[in-house]
Structure 1
Amino acid sequence: MASGLHTWSLPNPITNRRIGPDTKPPRTTKSPSIHPWGACTQYLPASFVLHSPRTINNIRIDASALRCGRHRIASDQVDLHIVKCWYMAGLGVWADPRKSTNAEFDVLAMGSKSDAGRENPGIDGGGYIMSRDQLHLAPELLLKDDELIDFDRKRQDNIYRFTGLPTDSPKLLPFQLRANESKQIWVTVYLPPDTVPGRYQGQIRIRAPKRASIAIPITLDVTPIHLDQPALQYMQYYDSFITAPWSNISHSKYRTPQQMLAELCDLRAHGVENTTVCEPITGDQPNGKTFDFSNIDRVMDLREKAGFPVRKQTLFWTPKTTSSGRPDMLTDFYKHDPWIIDKPFLQRMERTIKAVLRWSKRRGIPEVCVYGIDEVQDQKLKAEIRAFKVLQKLGAKIMLAVSPNFHDYLGDYVDVANVQGDPHNPKQIPPRVIRRIHAKGGRIFNYARPQTGECRPYAYRRNYGIDMYTSGMDGPWPYGYQCTSGRYQAYDRIHTTHGSWLNHPFSYPTTDGVMITWGSQGWRAAVDDVRYMTTLQNMIDAGEGTGANRSKAREFLKNLDSNGNLPAQRRNAAQLIEKLHP
């Protein structure tokens, strides 16, 4: 406190407890310290908070290298962000919109839906804002340039110091801490594959003009564990593309190759195994042009560069070429009523899929899975069967986001189902549904539990970690990586043009990279929880260790509890792995 700064660390950073500018410091006088632990290839989270009774300008924070004897983890593996609070219409992605009564918003909203809207992040061209009593000043963005976005308490609105898309800094910039406000700092330590096990020590330094510096010690324990990949498959809807935009496609989905590569690398860094691919192909129009796969080839090249094993995994193809922008493969084949699946429709679909399968064979892609009409329920599902028969006869697979009762209407035509509900509640997802699709060699994923974009990191860790691991399902598949509900504004969490739902951001686009979110750190923790459980199970299956220790490990895995202490269960798994290690 000699510097005028009150600092305290958060021992469990993956939490649903929100730290905002009005958070009061604890009464404890204990000096802050950071004690992460983990294994090679993990991204380890940590966090601390700053508070001051007076405004402090030009605060600088940096991290030292971490050392263990002659071994070293470089300082650039210690990544620092500010957890930025801004106004959001609710803490999730659903709310009830009301027409704005604020004259300023109404005037702007009455403007035409043109590119002008892109120059006003925070103002939605559609004219709807969420009710002011639903607004929350909530932590969501992880920024390095704290001044990019700010909030105005009087207007209850966000302030954007950029037009179009922002450019964040590659390193944490100096920032201001306002009087009587708190600011949370997020720390991510990456452990490269060649990190030597041991106890590493270093520090985070906090400096400000004319004030004594503060050093927060870091003690990092690296375990001698090699983590296997998770038994679950972690999936995301990724619906951006590099094809040049035209009038019926929202600019919010267009990416340069540089942007797409950064986003794909971010997906891999968060443990995502595969995603949908929305890049369309051109050709086979009435003018008889040849199919052109050049852009989707570029996308596959970018995916391989980002670390996706393109030649070993299914291509989930969902090209967005319709004005609806929906992830519907079948409606993209037909310009009229999507329920009219007639002979011309089937002929065009057959020509297209044959070309796609020939192309995928040349690329070494083992399997193509075609996305059906999105979120269709009950009797309407039957309208797709004629198309599904043709697709499967040609050798393609079928995927749907669908209700758990899809077998009642489609039988076994679905190869990959993405269903909503709690897999531990038989009234929501009956176990027979999971057993049936697995018996036919298919896969079943969990949808919207929750969707991306919620300020609840612990919910993602729980639901998509141990809870999913013990469910019998193949993994989570929420929507989506970057979904915008407005026409252009990726950075708008107050307005909407889509009824009751807001943006669904796992991350946000920038001019040359990615702006990650607080919620996405819970997803990454879920992946790591499952990696520990998978590694332990694999060691049991391989007969490693003594019989007594394997019995203890089996009993531990049998009694996993997603409502229990998740950090403690990961720690227990690590200890059991070390006991089984030869």
Structure 2
Amino acid sequence: EWAAAASKGPDYWELEVAVPFDQLGTGIAEGAVWSGNVSRARWLKREYSTWSPIKRTFHDTANFGRIVFTSDLEAVEGRIDEIEFTALKAGLLEPALAEVEQSVQAARRTADALPGACRPRMLQSILRLDGRLRNLQARLATLTPDNFREQWARLYGRLEPLRFEASRLQDEAVMLAATDGGERPWNFFITRAMTNERMLSDRWPRTPLPAPELALAACPGEYESATFSVYAVRELRNVRLSIEDLACGATVLPASCIEPYAVKCWYQAGRGIGDLGQRLLTPELLLKDDDLVRVDYRRQANFVRARPGSSEYLDCSLKDSSNLAEFVPRDAETLLPLTVPERTLKQFWLTAHIPEGTPAGAYEGRVVVSADGVPPESLPLRITVLPFTLAEPVLEYSIYYRGVLTPDGRGSISSEGKSEQQYAAEMHDLVAHGVVNPTLYQGYNERLLTRAFEIREAAGMTGKPVMSLGCGTGAPQTPQELTALRERVKQWLDFVTARGYPGLYVYGIDEASGDRLKAERDAFAAVHEAGAKVFVACYKDYFGLVGDLLDMPIWAGRPDAAEAVKAHSVGHRIFNYAHPQCGVEEPETYRRNFGLFLWKAGYDGAMDYAYQHSFTHEWNDFDNQSYRDHTMAYPAENGVIGTIQWEGFREAVDDVRYLATLLQAVDAAKSAGGERARRAAAAEQWLAETDFETADLDAVRAEMIRRIIELR
């Protein structure tokens, strides 16, 4: 219910936004003071503007401005310093001091119960920190409305290191308590796989699951993930994983159906695709050879092995990637032994692929973790194979795939030119993650197109219309130009239908709007006359301009249910992308936004951008001034290297497959009548009432499983 209006002047633009207070969940009172800022970013030109000047990022709350609600402006203008000081004290200073105080007290309580010699050492560290805190509190207590502007920045700057040290000491105390005062060499944590909470290599985990075992449930043919982490109290050399066969009575689930990976934390330039200028330690890569990438924590830099078998490492965190010109990444075939440095965390990832035809039941086994000089540790592993198979998803899953086969057959370490080996590996990877109809960027070359389709078909990509960006509409205006477009489209259509594909979609001008989009109407009509359809990424104004001609809009951003209704009203489909673009290292975000939430919004499918897009070099997040590379799986010489966000996308697809299975069970139960029909109605009501944008998706999955079994 927000309202907004914008206008342009000769050398300025202005925006007015009205936000009802009840939409913010609050009200106002006379003299109320809020902290806030208004920020603007123009990513392509690297232009940033803010109402209140900031130091580094838009989230620099210490430098937010103050919004004062008053009916007496003159009185407020005479109290600016007092208002600013009060707001800083109540909004930043007091909460920050309380946070440090709580961490110190929590560390002290834990340290009091520690055994042996580590207790007095820990208490001494806490005492020193407490002394620094009291000293800073005394200095801050001298601040007044008259003097705070000269001293605030310096004193507040001393508080942030204290917050970090207090948090570190709290983690240290918990670690010592969990490892018998540091006598045990390691500690194990089981956490959710599909979470945006990051398991950082330099932190003690705050939210491990209470479960004593690794447990997952999956249908025959399904992929499902689990994760655990090892915290090294002292350096652990040659850490190895051994997975035993799992058994359910006399039936065996072979260990070979479980792929183990090491999760690599490395530095990235930010969180969002346009979030640049930071160096954030980020868990992302799923590696078999953990030493393929080395991280220098002091310099906050990443280094990659130059080529297979080499001892040379290249810095892949510079602003210039020319040193990566000969870089050839190749991962190992199996998980190699690795070293976990002292006082660091190493996350491991298990991806189970349940063989087709596996009987239902609870299969139990172990993951054995060993290291030099340390007794092996066993983690119980339980896989519940469900008594049904999954239906195909009710949404169609595509993705912008930029890769093309090169004329000379040579690949590259980028999103673009691919060898046949790379192309085949990426097609199989796409299918394994539920994407059965990625876009086609290959231009019209019958030899290369034929080979591209052969590789796709071998991976299981058949029976869907071809989504071609190798054939685009442009915006032709003259009769000759329109005739040439029709002929080009007909050539493509003849080629794909001859291979058995049911149709062709041709891409419009990417993300066009306004007059630029309207100018494509004749081109869209020409595509229809040639027997094909049109798809393109677009924004909110598309329907009034070309809604009657655009067969499949790819809606940008948060899916708007009203736009789905519009598209369906003219018999068209609507897909979604950029919610967010690919490459944000947040598995839960992709699972949520491209799964059940997208279905609830009434959309027909997902086509996010992009599987890979190398804005400069795909393996360097710091070498482009406009965007971070978009990456779901990193290109390698012999295939792909996966990421945790790509696993989250697969979970989105699987959630929708469970949904499709439930809907089929509902339809069958309604036809049966009686108690089954009543349960079917209850399942429909549950689906209608559940908010998939906020619900616990693991709990939702469990409830869908329960209802499917109940309705069978």
Cα pair 1:236 1:479 within 8 Å, conserved: yes
Cα pair 1:461 1:526 within 8 Å, conserved: yes
Cα pair 1:245 1:251 within 8 Å, conserved: no
1:349 deviates by 2.0
Distance 1:355 1:27 in 2: 57
Q: Which residue of 2 aligns with 1:52?
A: 232
Match 1:490 to one of 615, 618, 628: 618
2:193 matches 1:24: no
Match 1:471 to one of 601, 604, 629: 601
**Deviations 1:155-211 (Å, cap 9, x if unpaired)?**
221111124231101110000101111010011111112111001011111111221
2:562 matches 1:422: no
2:464 matches 1:330: no
Cα gap change, 1:26/1:278 in structure 2, threshold over 3 Å: closer, same or farther? closer
CA RMSD of aligned residues (A): 2.2
1:255 deviates by 0.8
**Deviations 1:241-297 (Å, cap 9, x if unpaired)?**
103379xx9964111111111111111111113111111114xxxxxxxxxx11111
Match 1:564 to one of 695, 701, 707: 695
Cα gap change, 1:26/1:137 in structure 2, threshold over 3 Å: closer, same or farther? closer
Q: Which residue of 2 aligns with 1:191?
A: 354
Distance 1:493 1:27 in 2: 29
Q: Which residue of 2 aligns with 1:300?
A: 453
2:487 matches 1:351: yes
Distance 1:207 1:14 in 2: 26
Residue aligned with 1:57, SS: strand
Cα pair 1:3 1:211 within 8 Å, conserved: no
1:22 deviates by 1.2
Distance 2:402 2:607 in 1: 13
Cα pair 1:3 1:213 within 8 Å, conserved: no
Cα gap change, 1:342/1:206 in structure 2, threshold over 3 Å: closer, same or farther? same
Residue aligned with 2:449, SS: helix
Q: Which residue of 1 aligns with 2:433?
A: 270
1:53 deviates by 2.0
Q: Which residue of 1 aligns with 2:279?
A: 135
1:475 deviates by 2.0
Q: Which residue of 2 aligns with 1:325?
A: none
1:355 deviates by 1.4
Q: Which residue of 2 aligns with 1:258?
A: 421
Structure holding more helix per residue: 2
Match 1:380 to one of 505, 516, 519: 516
Residue aligned with 1:274, SS: coil
Q: Which residue of 1 aligns with 2:256?
A: 76
Distance 2:327 2:265 in 1: 20
Give the alignment's TM-score, normalised by structure 2.
Answer: 0.68
Distance 2:271 2:242 in 1: 31
**Deviations 1:462-490 (Å, cap 9, x if unpaired)?**
1112211211011222100011111xx21
1:542 deviates by 2.6
**Deviations 1:486-524 (Å, cap 9, x if unpaired)?**
1xx21111221xx42110101111111110101111111
Q: Which residue of 1 aligns with 2:543?
A: 407
**Deviations 1:38-70 (Å, cap 9, x if unpaired)?**
211221111101111211111111211111122
Distance 2:331 2:588 in 1: 26
Distance 2:338 2:382 in 1: 26
Give the alignment's TM-score, normalised by structure 1.
Answer: 0.83
Distance 2:414 2:558 in 1: 35
2:382 matches 1:219: yes
More divergent stretch after superposition (171-180 vs 186-195): 186-195
1:30 deviates by 7.4
Q: Which residue of 1 aligns with 2:66?
A: none
1:347 deviates by 3.3
Cα pair 1:41 1:190 within 8 Å, conserved: yes
Structure possessing the higher relative contact order (Cα contacts under 8 Å, 6 or more residues apart): 1
1:37 deviates by 1.2
Distance 1:435 1:27 in 2: 41
2:529 matches 1:389: no
Q: Which residue of 1 aligns with 2:78?
A: none
Cα gap change, 1:208/1:459 in structure 2, threshold over 3 Å: closer, same or farther? same
Q: Which residue of 2 aligns with 1:538?
A: 664
Distance 2:281 2:547 in 1: 47
Give the AA of the match of 1:476: A
Cα gap change, 1:474/1:91 in structure 2, threshold over 3 Å: closer, same or farther? same
2:567 matches 1:437: yes
Distance 1:400 1:407 in 2: 12
Distance 1:190 1:75 in 2: 10
Give the AA of the match of 2:697: L
Distance 2:547 2:350 in 1: 49
Give the AA of the match of 1:313: K
Residue aligned with 1:224, SS: coil
**Which of the two has higher C-alpha Rg?**
2
Match 1:9 to one of 182, 190, 193: 190
Q: Which residue of 1 aligns with 2:592?
A: 462
Residue aligned with 1:268, SS: helix
1:26 deviates by 6.0
Distance 2:561 2:540 in 1: 8
Residue aligned with 2:239, SS: strand
Distance 1:57 1:435 in 2: 58
Cα pair 1:62 1:205 within 8 Å, conserved: yes
Q: Which residue of 1 aligns with 2:406?
A: 243
Give the AA of the match of 2:524: F
Cα pair 2:236 2:341 within 8 Å, conserved: yes
Cα gap change, 1:359/1:340 in structure 2, threshold over 3 Å: closer, same or farther? closer
Give the AA of the match of 2:509: I
2:568 matches 1:452: no
Distance 1:453 1:341 in 2: 37
Cα pair 1:539 1:580 within 8 Å, conserved: yes
Cα pair 1:39 1:227 within 8 Å, conserved: yes
Give the AA of the match of 2:510: D
Cα pair 2:402 2:415 within 8 Å, conserved: no
Cα pair 1:416 1:444 within 8 Å, conserved: yes
After the TM superposition, which residues 54-133 of structure 1 pair with which residues of structure 2 at under 5 Å, given as runs?
A: 54-95=234-275, 130-131=276-277
Cα gap change, 1:542/1:405 in structure 2, threshold over 3 Å: closer, same or farther? farther
Distance 1:91 1:238 in 2: 22
1:551 deviates by 2.0
Residue aligned with 1:348, SS: helix
Q: Which residue of 1 aligns with 2:134?
A: none
1:31 deviates by 8.5
Q: Which residue of 2 aligns with 1:231?
A: 394
2:677 matches 1:547: yes
Distance 2:638 2:286 in 1: 16
Distance 1:219 1:31 in 2: 11
Cα pair 1:341 1:386 within 8 Å, conserved: yes
Cα gap change, 1:258/1:24 in structure 2, threshold over 3 Å: closer, same or farther? same
Residue aligned with 2:228, SS: strand
Residue aligned with 1:370, SS: strand
Residue aligned with 2:200, SS: coil
